[in-house]
């Protein structure tokens, strides 16, 4: 049966604690009541395959027509139900391309591909900028001594096999959508690697293939010559985002370690960046020594030797052979937002 008390809670974020529990982070928020609530965000699955699937939409207003309806909501919890409501459905909506998901672990041995490396800077930014947050999932209330009240099931809530099949339903998926003071929208969506990516009208799996199969290159594709397994995605490291204008003076920031470039390895193989470099628009170079990025993982690189101009400029990633791998540009308008990540397509 579908989960109970599904809806969206519009609130003001107070604090993000990504490592609050081994399998959950907590986003604390408030609304007009002035009370402190928490949203339990999964960072690990309880299944044998503990990985999650992660999607981040940098310009949610561009892909979803519901932002005006969300903005019009008063602060607080709102029940939603069905395709004509604000309810989310990853598989039936038009806002999400499931093929673009990234499989991520948490606290796994070996290569770094921790989901918190992806989520932490986004939710920290939402807290710092006092964004409005729209948390989709199931409301919970604890009448015991803790008196806790908030949201959980902030992930896809269909395509579950036993023992979680009782939670299957359509138009009841979770997620976190954020509206920032400058008017731009961002969104985080999560699913479990073991969930099916095709479901029936009641949210039950209609395939044994999971997100782990689909996104690991193990999903059989039919053809005239029979099923085959597609080749892994090509190795590719790109510049995903940058903290160009940290809080306080650039060389003496009041939070964090200063100007930072976030690199993303979208391949299924680890990548060594020994001998690579990051340059700014005037040729100043930050050498990359001992940098290694796991498969489908992200790495934050501090760039004191390649300062990023707040007047606009470019960031260039160069490999060990001196070949330009990726170049991005940003405007003065984007750089003027203090403490805000600038994302690149």
264: Cα separation from own chain's centroid? 13
Give the number of C-alpha atoms closer than 13 A to the C-alpha of residue 34, restricted to the C-beta side. Answer: 0
Return phi, psi of residue 167, to 5°.
-90, 0
Mean pLDDT by 10 residues, the chain (345 residues): 89 91 90 92 85 89 90 95 92 87 71 73 90 95 64 94 89 95 92 93 90 67 33 61 79 65 84 91 86 85 89 87 86 81 80
Distance from C-alpha of 157 to C-alpha of 170, rounded to nearest angstrom:
8
Instruction: Tell me what pLDDT residue 261 has.
Output: 93
**Residue ranges of domains in the chain:** 6-215, 237-343
* Residue 167 burial (CB count, 10 A): 17
Which class is domain 237-343?
Answer: mainly beta
Instruction: Tell me what pLDDT residue 73 has.
Output: 96
Distance from C-alpha of 286 to C-alpha of 288, rounded to nearest angstrom:
6
Q: What angle do CA 248, 254, 258 make, to 5 degrees?
A: 80
**102-125 residue pLDDT tens:** 888 876 554 445 788 888 888 998
* Bridging pattern class, strands 37-42 and 149-152: parallel
Distance from C-alpha of 19 to C-alpha of 214, rounded to nearest angstrom:
28
């Amino acid at each position: 049966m579908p989960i109970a008390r599904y809806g969206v809670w519009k609130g003001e974020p107070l604090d993000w604690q990504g490592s609050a529990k081994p399998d959950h982070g907590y986003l604390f928020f408030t609304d007009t009541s002035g009370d402190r609530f928490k949203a339990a965000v999964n960072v690990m699955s309880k299944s044998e395959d503990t990985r999650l699937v992660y999607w981040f939409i940098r310009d949610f207003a561009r892909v979803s027509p519901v932002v005006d309806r969300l903005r019009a909501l008063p602060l607080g919890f709102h029940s939603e139900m069905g395709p004509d409501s604000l309810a989310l459905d990853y598989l039936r909506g038009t806002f999400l391309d499931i093929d673009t998901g990234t499989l991520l672990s948490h606290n796994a041995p070996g290569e770094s591909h921790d989901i918190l490396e992806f989520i932490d800077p986004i939710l920290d930014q939402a807290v710092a900028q006092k964004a409005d947050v729209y948390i989709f999932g199931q409301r919970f209330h604890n009448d015991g001594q803790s008196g806790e009240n908030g949201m959980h099931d902030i992930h896809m809530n269909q395509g579950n096999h036993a023992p979680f099949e009782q939670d299957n339903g359509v138009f009841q998926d979770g997620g976190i959508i954020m509206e920032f003071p400058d008017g731009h929208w961002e969104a985080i969506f999560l699913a479990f690697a073991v969930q099916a990516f095709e479901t029936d009208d009641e949210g039950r799996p209609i395939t044994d293939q999971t997100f782990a199969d689909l996104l690991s290159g193990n999903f059989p594709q039919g053809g005239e010559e029979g099923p085959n397994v597609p080749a892994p995605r090509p190795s590719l490291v790109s510049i995903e985002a940058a903290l160009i204008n940290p809080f306080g003076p650039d060389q003496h920031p009041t939070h964090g370690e200063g100007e930072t470039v976030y690199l993303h390895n979208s391949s299924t193989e680890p990548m060594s960046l020994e001998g690579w470099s990051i340059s700014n628009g005037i040729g100043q170079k930050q050498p990359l020594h001992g940098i290694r990025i796991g498969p489908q993982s992200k790495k934050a690189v501090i760039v004191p030797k390649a300062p990023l101009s707040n007047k606009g400029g470019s960031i260039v990633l160069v490999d060990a052979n001196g070949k330009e791998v990726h170049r991005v540009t940003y405007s003065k308008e984007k750089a003027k937002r203090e403490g805000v990540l600038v994302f690149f397509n």
